[in-house]
Structure 1
Amino acid sequence: MSTLYLLHKPYRMLSQFTDSQGRSTLADVLDAPGVYAAGRLDYDSEGLLLLSDDGNLIHRIAHPRHKQPKTYWVQLEGHITDEAIRALVSGVTLKDGPTLPAKARRMSPPDVAERAPAIDPKRHPVTSWLELTISEGRNRQVRRMTAHVGFPTLRLIRAAIGPWQLGDLAPGQWRKETLHAPRTTQATKPRSGQHKPLNTYKDAERGAKRGSKSSAKPRGRRK
Protein backbone atom coordinates (compact mmCIF):
# COMPACT_ATOMS: atom_id res chain seq x y z
CA MET A 1 0.00 0.00 0.00
CA SER A 2 1.02 3.59 -0.59
CA THR A 3 -0.19 6.80 0.99
CA LEU A 4 -0.96 9.83 -1.12
CA TYR A 5 -1.62 13.30 0.27
CA LEU A 6 -3.70 15.75 -1.76
CA LEU A 7 -2.91 19.28 -0.60
CA HIS A 8 -4.29 22.66 -1.63
CA LYS A 9 -1.10 24.71 -1.74
CA PRO A 10 -1.82 28.32 -0.88
CA TYR A 11 -0.58 31.36 -2.77
CA ARG A 12 2.98 32.39 -1.90
CA MET A 13 4.00 29.09 -0.36
CA LEU A 14 6.98 27.02 -1.51
CA SER A 15 6.45 23.44 -2.70
CA GLN A 16 9.01 22.20 -0.14
CA PHE A 17 9.29 21.76 3.61
CA THR A 18 12.22 24.05 4.44
CA ASP A 19 13.45 27.46 3.36
CA SER A 20 16.51 29.40 4.48
CA GLN A 21 14.81 32.72 3.72
CA GLY A 22 11.90 32.26 6.10
CA ARG A 23 9.21 31.97 3.45
CA SER A 24 6.07 29.90 3.99
CA THR A 25 6.57 26.18 3.30
CA LEU A 26 4.56 22.95 3.27
CA ALA A 27 5.62 22.36 6.88
CA ASP A 28 3.25 25.15 7.88
CA VAL A 29 0.21 23.10 6.87
CA LEU A 30 1.27 19.43 6.69
CA ASP A 31 3.03 17.32 9.34
CA ALA A 32 3.90 14.09 7.49
CA PRO A 33 7.55 13.08 7.92
CA GLY A 34 9.18 11.38 4.95
CA VAL A 35 6.84 12.60 2.23
CA TYR A 36 7.90 14.45 -0.89
CA ALA A 37 5.99 16.35 -3.54
CA ALA A 38 5.30 14.72 -6.90
CA GLY A 39 6.21 17.74 -9.01
CA ARG A 40 5.79 21.26 -7.82
CA LEU A 41 3.80 24.47 -8.06
CA ASP A 42 5.41 27.87 -8.35
CA TYR A 43 5.53 30.11 -5.29
CA ASP A 44 2.87 32.39 -6.81
CA SER A 45 0.59 29.56 -8.00
CA GLU A 46 -2.09 27.75 -6.01
CA GLY A 47 -3.97 24.49 -6.00
CA LEU A 48 -3.45 20.75 -6.06
CA LEU A 49 -0.13 19.31 -4.96
CA LEU A 50 0.38 15.55 -4.56
CA LEU A 51 2.79 14.14 -1.97
CA SER A 52 3.83 10.63 -0.96
CA ASP A 53 6.52 8.64 0.84
CA ASP A 54 6.58 6.16 -2.09
CA GLY A 55 9.32 7.08 -4.54
CA ASN A 56 7.95 4.88 -7.32
CA LEU A 57 4.52 6.49 -7.04
CA ILE A 58 6.06 9.97 -7.10
CA HIS A 59 7.97 8.99 -10.25
CA ARG A 60 4.84 7.67 -11.93
CA ILE A 61 2.95 10.86 -11.24
CA ALA A 62 5.68 13.40 -11.93
CA HIS A 63 7.81 12.00 -14.76
CA PRO A 64 7.06 13.69 -18.12
CA ARG A 65 6.94 10.42 -20.02
CA HIS A 66 3.75 9.42 -18.20
CA LYS A 67 2.08 12.61 -19.45
CA GLN A 68 -0.38 13.02 -16.61
CA PRO A 69 -2.82 15.71 -17.78
CA LYS A 70 -2.95 18.74 -15.50
CA THR A 71 -5.95 21.05 -15.40
CA TYR A 72 -5.66 24.68 -14.34
CA TRP A 73 -8.14 27.43 -13.59
CA VAL A 74 -6.62 30.63 -14.90
CA GLN A 75 -7.74 34.18 -14.23
CA LEU A 76 -6.66 36.32 -17.15
CA GLU A 77 -6.28 40.00 -17.80
CA GLY A 78 -9.01 41.00 -20.27
CA HIS A 79 -11.76 38.99 -21.97
CA ILE A 80 -10.08 36.10 -23.76
CA THR A 81 -11.08 35.77 -27.41
CA ASP A 82 -12.13 32.75 -29.47
CA GLU A 83 -9.00 33.21 -31.55
CA ALA A 84 -6.76 33.01 -28.49
CA ILE A 85 -8.53 29.87 -27.26
CA ARG A 86 -8.12 28.21 -30.66
CA ALA A 87 -4.40 29.03 -30.58
CA LEU A 88 -4.00 27.43 -27.15
CA VAL A 89 -5.88 24.33 -28.28
CA SER A 90 -3.74 23.96 -31.41
CA GLY A 91 -0.47 24.65 -29.60
CA VAL A 92 1.68 27.77 -29.52
CA THR A 93 5.39 28.20 -30.12
CA LEU A 94 7.32 29.38 -27.07
CA LYS A 95 11.05 30.09 -26.74
CA ASP A 96 11.67 26.44 -25.84
CA GLY A 97 9.62 25.11 -28.75
CA PRO A 98 6.00 24.40 -29.68
CA THR A 99 3.56 23.21 -27.03
CA LEU A 100 1.43 20.13 -27.48
CA PRO A 101 -2.26 20.64 -28.26
CA ALA A 102 -4.24 21.52 -25.14
CA LYS A 103 -7.84 21.63 -23.98
CA ALA A 104 -9.16 25.10 -23.27
CA ARG A 105 -12.55 26.60 -22.56
CA ARG A 106 -14.02 29.66 -20.90
CA MET A 107 -15.40 29.10 -17.43
CA SER A 108 -17.26 30.98 -14.73
CA PRO A 109 -15.21 32.12 -11.74
CA PRO A 110 -14.53 28.98 -9.68
CA ASP A 111 -15.88 28.55 -6.18
CA VAL A 112 -12.58 29.07 -4.39
CA ALA A 113 -11.46 31.26 -1.53
CA GLU A 114 -10.38 34.81 -2.34
CA ARG A 115 -6.66 35.07 -2.80
CA ALA A 116 -4.72 37.08 -0.24
CA PRO A 117 -3.81 39.61 -1.42
CA ALA A 118 -6.66 39.76 -3.92
CA ILE A 119 -6.33 40.89 -7.53
CA ASP A 120 -6.53 44.69 -7.53
CA PRO A 121 -9.69 45.68 -9.49
CA LYS A 122 -8.30 49.17 -10.11
CA ARG A 123 -5.22 47.77 -11.85
CA HIS A 124 -7.12 44.95 -13.54
CA PRO A 125 -10.74 46.08 -14.04
CA VAL A 126 -11.51 43.46 -16.71
CA THR A 127 -10.67 39.79 -16.19
CA SER A 128 -11.90 36.41 -17.42
CA TRP A 129 -11.46 32.77 -16.41
CA LEU A 130 -10.12 29.92 -18.51
CA GLU A 131 -9.91 26.18 -17.85
CA LEU A 132 -6.74 24.86 -19.47
CA THR A 133 -5.55 21.24 -19.55
CA ILE A 134 -2.01 20.41 -20.65
CA SER A 135 0.06 17.23 -20.67
CA GLU A 136 3.48 18.87 -20.34
CA GLY A 137 5.31 20.35 -17.38
CA ARG A 138 7.58 23.11 -18.64
CA ASN A 139 8.67 25.91 -16.36
CA ARG A 140 5.81 28.42 -15.92
CA GLN A 141 4.22 26.98 -19.04
CA VAL A 142 0.63 28.11 -18.50
CA ARG A 143 1.69 31.69 -17.78
CA ARG A 144 3.86 31.75 -20.87
CA MET A 145 1.12 30.27 -23.05
CA THR A 146 -1.53 32.79 -22.04
CA ALA A 147 0.91 35.70 -22.35
CA HIS A 148 1.84 34.46 -25.83
CA VAL A 149 -1.78 34.79 -27.00
CA GLY A 150 -2.11 38.24 -25.43
CA PHE A 151 -3.84 37.50 -22.11
CA PRO A 152 -1.45 37.54 -19.14
CA THR A 153 -2.22 35.26 -16.20
CA LEU A 154 -3.23 37.05 -13.00
CA ARG A 155 -4.10 34.01 -10.89
CA LEU A 156 -3.28 30.34 -11.44
CA ILE A 157 -4.96 27.43 -9.63
CA ARG A 158 -4.20 23.78 -10.41
CA ALA A 159 -7.49 21.90 -10.22
CA ALA A 160 -6.49 18.35 -11.19
CA ILE A 161 -3.57 16.01 -11.88
CA GLY A 162 -4.67 12.93 -13.80
CA PRO A 163 -7.59 11.40 -11.85
CA TRP A 164 -6.90 13.39 -8.68
CA GLN A 165 -8.93 16.55 -8.16
CA LEU A 166 -8.69 19.55 -5.87
CA GLY A 167 -12.36 19.18 -4.96
CA ASP A 168 -13.53 21.36 -2.08
CA LEU A 169 -10.19 21.59 -0.27
CA ALA A 170 -9.58 25.08 1.04
CA PRO A 171 -6.09 26.62 0.84
CA GLY A 172 -3.88 24.82 3.36
CA GLN A 173 -6.22 21.84 3.75
CA TRP A 174 -5.36 18.30 2.69
CA ARG A 175 -6.84 14.84 2.47
CA LYS A 176 -5.17 11.43 2.52
CA GLU A 177 -5.79 8.45 0.25
CA THR A 178 -4.50 4.90 0.52
CA LEU A 179 -3.57 3.22 -2.74
CA HIS A 180 -3.89 -0.56 -2.52
CA ALA A 181 -1.14 -1.43 -4.97
CA PRO A 182 1.75 -3.46 -3.43
CA ARG A 183 5.03 -1.61 -3.39
CA THR A 184 6.68 -4.66 -4.97
CA THR A 185 4.35 -4.26 -7.94
CA GLN A 186 5.08 -0.56 -8.18
CA ALA A 187 8.81 -1.22 -8.11
CA THR A 188 8.69 -3.73 -10.97
CA LYS A 189 10.35 -2.29 -14.03
CA PRO A 190 8.32 -2.39 -17.26
CA ARG A 191 9.58 -4.23 -20.28
CA SER A 192 11.61 -2.26 -22.76
CA GLY A 193 9.43 0.28 -24.54
CA GLN A 194 6.52 -0.20 -22.14
CA HIS A 195 5.32 1.74 -19.15
CA LYS A 196 2.81 0.44 -16.70
CA PRO A 197 -0.22 2.77 -16.85
CA LEU A 198 -0.91 4.81 -13.76
CA ASN A 199 -4.54 3.74 -13.79
CA THR A 200 -3.57 0.48 -12.09
CA TYR A 201 -4.12 2.56 -8.95
CA LYS A 202 -7.87 2.08 -9.12
CA ASP A 203 -8.49 3.07 -5.54
CA ALA A 204 -6.91 6.46 -6.13
CA GLU A 205 -9.09 7.08 -9.16
CA ARG A 206 -12.24 6.05 -7.33
CA GLY A 207 -11.24 8.11 -4.30
CA ALA A 208 -10.61 11.18 -6.46
CA LYS A 209 -14.04 10.85 -8.04
CA ARG A 210 -15.73 10.49 -4.66
CA GLY A 211 -13.78 13.49 -3.36
CA SER A 212 -13.33 11.90 0.08
CA LYS A 213 -11.80 14.46 2.41
CA SER A 214 -9.66 14.26 5.49
CA SER A 215 -10.80 16.02 8.58
CA ALA A 216 -7.35 17.56 8.85
CA LYS A 217 -7.23 21.31 8.96
CA PRO A 218 -4.37 23.70 8.30
CA ARG A 219 -2.17 24.39 11.22
CA GLY A 220 -0.68 27.69 12.19
CA ARG A 221 2.65 28.61 10.73
CA ARG A 222 5.66 27.38 12.66
CA LYS A 223 7.82 30.00 14.27
Structure 2
Amino acid sequence: MPLILFNKPFQVLCQFSPQDGRSTLADHLDIPGIYPAGRLDADSEGLLLLTDDGRLQHAISHPDRKEAKTYLVQVDGVPDAASLARLQAPLDLGDFVTKPCHAVQIAEPDWLWPRHPPIRARLDQPTSWLAITLKEGKNRQVRRMTAAVGLPTLRLVRSSIGPFSLASHPLMPGEWCQVPGDALAGT
Protein backbone atom coordinates (compact mmCIF):
# COMPACT_ATOMS: atom_id res chain seq x y z
CA MET A 1 0.00 0.00 0.00
CA PRO A 2 2.01 2.96 -1.21
CA LEU A 3 1.60 6.38 0.31
CA ILE A 4 2.48 9.12 -2.15
CA LEU A 5 3.62 12.56 -1.01
CA PHE A 6 2.92 15.08 -3.76
CA ASN A 7 3.66 18.81 -3.92
CA LYS A 8 0.52 20.10 -5.62
CA PRO A 9 1.21 23.11 -7.85
CA PHE A 10 -0.94 26.24 -7.91
CA GLN A 11 -4.09 25.88 -10.08
CA VAL A 12 -3.99 22.06 -10.21
CA LEU A 13 -7.33 20.44 -9.33
CA CYS A 14 -7.30 17.64 -6.71
CA GLN A 15 -8.89 15.09 -9.02
CA PHE A 16 -7.80 12.75 -11.77
CA SER A 17 -10.73 13.16 -14.13
CA PRO A 18 -10.46 15.84 -16.83
CA GLN A 19 -12.11 19.18 -16.10
CA ASP A 20 -12.63 21.67 -18.95
CA GLY A 21 -8.97 21.92 -19.90
CA ARG A 22 -7.81 22.59 -16.31
CA SER A 23 -4.70 20.88 -14.96
CA THR A 24 -5.45 17.89 -12.70
CA LEU A 25 -3.48 15.31 -10.71
CA ALA A 26 -3.43 13.12 -13.84
CA ASP A 27 -1.08 15.66 -15.47
CA HIS A 28 1.50 14.97 -12.75
CA LEU A 29 0.96 11.43 -11.43
CA ASP A 30 0.80 8.33 -13.61
CA ILE A 31 0.24 5.78 -10.84
CA PRO A 32 -2.84 3.59 -11.34
CA GLY A 33 -5.43 3.27 -8.60
CA ILE A 34 -4.35 6.05 -6.24
CA TYR A 35 -6.67 8.64 -4.76
CA PRO A 36 -6.10 11.77 -2.67
CA ALA A 37 -6.58 11.48 1.09
CA GLY A 38 -7.91 14.99 1.57
CA ARG A 39 -7.93 17.94 -0.78
CA LEU A 40 -6.42 21.32 -1.52
CA ASP A 41 -8.37 23.86 -3.54
CA ALA A 42 -6.96 24.92 -6.91
CA ASP A 43 -5.66 28.22 -5.49
CA SER A 44 -3.63 26.41 -2.79
CA GLU A 45 -0.28 24.70 -3.15
CA GLY A 46 1.71 22.16 -1.22
CA LEU A 47 1.63 18.75 0.37
CA LEU A 48 -1.03 16.27 -0.63
CA LEU A 49 -1.14 12.58 0.37
CA LEU A 50 -2.41 9.93 -2.05
CA THR A 51 -2.83 6.17 -1.63
CA ASP A 52 -4.32 3.10 -3.29
CA ASP A 53 -5.53 1.75 0.07
CA GLY A 54 -9.12 2.75 0.87
CA ARG A 55 -8.71 2.02 4.59
CA LEU A 56 -5.60 4.19 4.78
CA GLN A 57 -7.29 6.96 2.80
CA HIS A 58 -10.24 6.84 5.21
CA ALA A 59 -7.91 6.79 8.25
CA ILE A 60 -6.05 9.88 7.03
CA SER A 61 -9.09 11.94 6.07
CA HIS A 62 -11.78 10.81 8.58
CA PRO A 63 -12.86 13.69 10.88
CA ASP A 64 -12.18 11.61 14.01
CA ARG A 65 -8.59 10.96 12.87
CA LYS A 66 -7.60 14.27 11.35
CA GLU A 67 -3.83 14.64 11.22
CA ALA A 68 -2.43 18.05 12.17
CA LYS A 69 -1.82 20.13 9.08
CA THR A 70 0.40 23.20 8.88
CA TYR A 71 -0.23 25.91 6.33
CA LEU A 72 2.16 28.72 5.42
CA VAL A 73 -0.02 31.70 4.63
CA GLN A 74 1.00 34.96 3.02
CA VAL A 75 -1.55 37.57 4.07
CA ASP A 76 -2.37 41.09 3.01
CA GLY A 77 -1.39 43.23 6.01
CA VAL A 78 0.47 42.74 9.29
CA PRO A 79 -1.13 40.80 12.15
CA ASP A 80 -1.29 42.24 15.63
CA ALA A 81 -1.58 40.28 18.87
CA ALA A 82 -5.39 40.54 18.81
CA SER A 83 -5.75 39.10 15.28
CA LEU A 84 -3.37 36.22 16.12
CA ALA A 85 -5.36 35.51 19.30
CA ARG A 86 -8.61 35.50 17.32
CA LEU A 87 -7.13 33.06 14.77
CA GLN A 88 -6.11 30.68 17.57
CA ALA A 89 -9.40 30.78 19.48
CA PRO A 90 -12.62 29.24 18.20
CA LEU A 91 -13.66 31.56 15.37
CA ASP A 92 -17.26 31.86 14.19
CA LEU A 93 -17.26 31.75 10.38
CA GLY A 94 -21.04 31.86 10.08
CA ASP A 95 -21.76 28.27 9.03
CA PHE A 96 -19.40 26.73 11.62
CA VAL A 97 -17.08 27.60 14.49
CA THR A 98 -13.45 26.57 14.09
CA LYS A 99 -11.62 24.51 16.68
CA PRO A 100 -8.71 26.15 18.50
CA CYS A 101 -5.51 26.10 16.46
CA HIS A 102 -1.95 27.35 16.55
CA ALA A 103 -1.14 30.53 14.58
CA VAL A 104 2.09 32.52 14.63
CA GLN A 105 3.72 35.14 12.45
CA ILE A 106 6.86 33.85 10.73
CA ALA A 107 9.54 35.16 8.41
CA GLU A 108 9.01 34.45 4.73
CA PRO A 109 10.20 30.85 4.24
CA ASP A 110 13.54 30.98 2.39
CA TRP A 111 13.04 27.48 0.93
CA LEU A 112 9.72 28.31 -0.72
CA TRP A 113 9.60 28.25 -4.51
CA PRO A 114 8.33 31.26 -6.46
CA ARG A 115 4.69 31.05 -7.45
CA HIS A 116 3.66 31.33 -11.11
CA PRO A 117 1.97 33.66 -11.67
CA PRO A 118 3.52 35.70 -8.86
CA ILE A 119 1.48 37.20 -6.04
CA ARG A 120 0.42 40.75 -6.80
CA ALA A 121 2.51 43.41 -5.10
CA ARG A 122 1.11 46.65 -3.72
CA LEU A 123 3.75 49.10 -2.61
CA ASP A 124 1.38 50.78 -0.15
CA GLN A 125 0.31 47.53 1.58
CA PRO A 126 2.78 45.21 3.35
CA THR A 127 2.33 41.45 3.41
CA SER A 128 3.18 39.01 6.19
CA TRP A 129 3.57 35.26 6.60
CA LEU A 130 1.76 33.11 9.15
CA ALA A 131 2.10 29.44 10.09
CA ILE A 132 -1.32 28.03 10.98
CA THR A 133 -1.65 24.47 12.31
CA LEU A 134 -5.06 22.90 12.64
CA LYS A 135 -6.63 19.46 12.98
CA GLU A 136 -9.75 20.11 10.97
CA GLY A 137 -10.11 21.03 7.35
CA LYS A 138 -13.32 22.54 6.14
CA ASN A 139 -13.61 23.96 2.62
CA ARG A 140 -11.39 27.06 2.28
CA GLN A 141 -11.16 27.26 6.08
CA VAL A 142 -7.75 28.94 6.38
CA ARG A 143 -8.68 31.57 3.79
CA ARG A 144 -11.96 32.25 5.58
CA MET A 145 -10.19 32.46 8.96
CA THR A 146 -7.62 35.02 7.83
CA ALA A 147 -10.30 37.09 6.06
CA ALA A 148 -12.42 37.06 9.23
CA VAL A 149 -9.60 38.75 11.17
CA GLY A 150 -8.92 41.31 8.43
CA LEU A 151 -5.91 39.60 6.83
CA PRO A 152 -6.94 38.26 3.41
CA THR A 153 -4.89 35.31 2.16
CA LEU A 154 -2.69 36.00 -0.85
CA ARG A 155 -0.88 32.65 -0.95
CA LEU A 156 -1.51 29.38 0.88
CA VAL A 157 0.97 26.49 0.99
CA ARG A 158 0.32 23.32 3.02
CA SER A 159 3.75 22.44 4.37
CA SER A 160 2.94 19.39 6.52
CA ILE A 161 0.40 16.68 7.26
CA GLY A 162 1.02 14.68 10.44
CA PRO A 163 4.62 13.40 10.38
CA PHE A 164 5.20 14.34 6.73
CA SER A 165 6.51 17.74 5.68
CA LEU A 166 8.03 19.45 2.70
CA ALA A 167 10.98 20.24 4.99
CA SER A 168 11.79 16.54 5.50
CA HIS A 169 10.72 15.53 1.97
CA PRO A 170 11.80 18.49 -0.20
CA LEU A 171 9.69 18.33 -3.34
CA MET A 172 9.29 21.05 -5.92
CA PRO A 173 5.79 21.69 -7.31
CA GLY A 174 4.66 18.69 -9.38
CA GLU A 175 7.20 16.31 -7.77
CA TRP A 176 6.29 13.30 -5.66
CA CYS A 177 7.88 10.50 -3.64
CA GLN A 178 6.65 7.26 -2.12
CA VAL A 179 6.86 6.37 1.58
CA PRO A 180 5.68 3.23 3.40
CA GLY A 181 1.92 3.29 4.04
CA ASP A 182 2.54 2.28 7.64
CA ALA A 183 4.57 5.46 8.22
CA LEU A 184 1.45 6.98 9.78
CA ALA A 185 1.38 5.62 13.32
CA GLY A 186 -1.87 3.94 14.27
CA THR A 187 -3.25 3.44 10.75
Q: Could you say which TM-score interval applies, normalised by the shorter chain?
A: over 0.9
User: 2:171 corresponds to which letter in structure 1?
Assistant: L
Name which one, 1 or 2, has greater alpha-carbon Rg: 1
- List alignment gaps of at least 5 residues for structure 2: none
Residue in 2 that maps onto 1:214 = none
Please list the CA deviations of residues 147-206 of structure 1 after superposition, one character each: whole Å capped at 9, or x if unmatched.
00000000000011111112321101111012358xxxxxxxxxxxxxxxx5235xxxxx
The equivalent residue for 1:105 is: 104
- In the other structure, the counterpart of 2:81 is 82
In 2: Cα distance, 1:171 partner to 1:125 partner: 28
Q: Which amino acid aligns with 2:87?
A: L
Mapped to 2, the partners of 1:166 and 1:122 lie a distance apart of: 29
Residue number in structure 2 paired with 1:62: 61
- The alpha carbon displacement at 1:63 in A equals 0.9
Change (3 A) 1:180 1:141: closer
CA 1:124–1:177 in 2, change beyond 3 Å: closer, same or farther?
Answer: farther
SS in 2 for 1:97: coil
- Alpha-carbon distance in 1 for matches of 2:66, 2:181: 20
- 2:91 and 2:73 mapped to 1: Cα distance? 17
* DSSP 3-state at the match of 2:185: helix
In structure 2, the partner of 1:218 is none
The Cα shift of 1:25 comes to: 0.8
Q: Deviations over 1:194-222 (max 9, x none)?
A: xxxx5235xxxxxxxxxxxxxxxxxxxxx
Structure 2 matches for 1:1-223, cutoff 5 A? 2-110=1-109, 111-122=111-122, 125-167=125-167, 168-180=170-182, 199-200=185-186
Give distance in 2, aligned partners of 1:116 and 1:180. Answer: 35
Residue 174 of structure 1 aligns to which amino acid in structure 2?
W
**Percent identity between the two aligned chains:** 49
Where 1:200 maps in the other structure, the secondary structure is coil
Using the TM superposition, give the Cα deviation of residue 122 of structure 1 relative to its aligned residue in structure 2, in angstroms.
3.0
Q: CA-atom RMSD, angstroms?
A: 1.5
Structure 1 pair 20–121 and aligned structure 2 pair: CA distance change class (3 A): closer
Partner residue of 1:185? none
- Per mean C-alpha deviation after superposition, the further-off stretch among 145-154 and 64-73 is 64-73
Alpha-carbon distance in structure 2 between the residues aligned to 1:124 and 1:158? 28
CA distance in 2, matches of 1:180, 1:152: 37
Q: Distance in 1 between matches of 2:37 and 2:72?
A: 20
Aligned residues between the structures: 184
Take 2:154 and 2:122, find their aligned partners in 1: how far apart are those partners?
13
CA displacement at 1:124 relative to structure 2: 7.2
Amino acid at match of 1:159: S
For the Cα contact (< 8 Å) 1:77–1:124, is it kept in 2?
Answer: no
TM-score, scaled to structure 2: 0.93
Q: Please tell me the residue identity of whatever aligns with 1:46.
A: E
Instruction: For 1:4 and 1:180, locate their aligned partners in 2 and report how far apart those are by CA, in whole Å.
Output: 8
What TM-score does the superposition give when structure 1 sets the normalisation length?
0.79
